[in-house]
Amino acid sequence: MEARPLVLFLLLSLALGLSAALGQENLFQKGQEVFAGNCVDCHRANGRGLPGTFPALDGEPFVRGAPEPVIATVLQGRKGNLGQMPAWKDKLTDEQIAAVVTYLRQAWSNKAAGVTPAMVAEIRKKGK
């Protein structure tokens, strides 16, 4: 009889793990849509950008590194040697930004952890 609580605990843990995995997969798919609708013109469908004009995202240490700077860049935009990326904080929701950053960090050859809308909300709050 004592095995029942353990079995229930294991099943619940498995269900929560699958739910989290499906949530990240769902964010990846949504992120692909956000990317296609907002980013692909500059960064290209293959994530390689346009050399000398728009930076590559595929294989970039910045994209695969700590997620906070990537989130902040999407929220606030960025000026750099190659030009200026617009800020998306007033155009995309926390969920959309989490989705597109998750996509960037897991698409092409990138294999970094995804992000959550809560992470985006926290960085958005700090940026105001």
Please give the pLDDT value at position 98.
97
Superfamily of domain 23-127: Cytochrome c-like domain (1.10.760.10)
Q: Is 44 exposed, middle or buried (0-12, 13-18, 19+ CB in 10 A)?
A: middle
Helix (H, G, I), strand (E, B) or coil at 60: coil
Please give the pLDDT value at position 52.
85
Burial 54-65 (b: 16+ CB within 10 A, else e): bbbbbebeebbe
Please give the pLDDT value at position 3.
65
Regions of the chain with pLDDT less than 50: 1, 14-19, 21-22
**CB contact set of 76 (below 8 Å; sequence gap of 6+):** 87, 89, 127
Please give the pLDDT value at position 7.
64
Instruction: Give pTM, 2 decimals.
Output: 0.81
Helix (H, G, I), strand (E, B) or coil at 117: helix
- Determine contact, residues 56/107, Cβ cutoff 8 Å: no
Gyration radius from the chain CA atoms: 17
Please give the pLDDT value at position 14.
47
Q: Which of 53, 54, 73, 49 is nearest to 62 (CA)?
A: 73
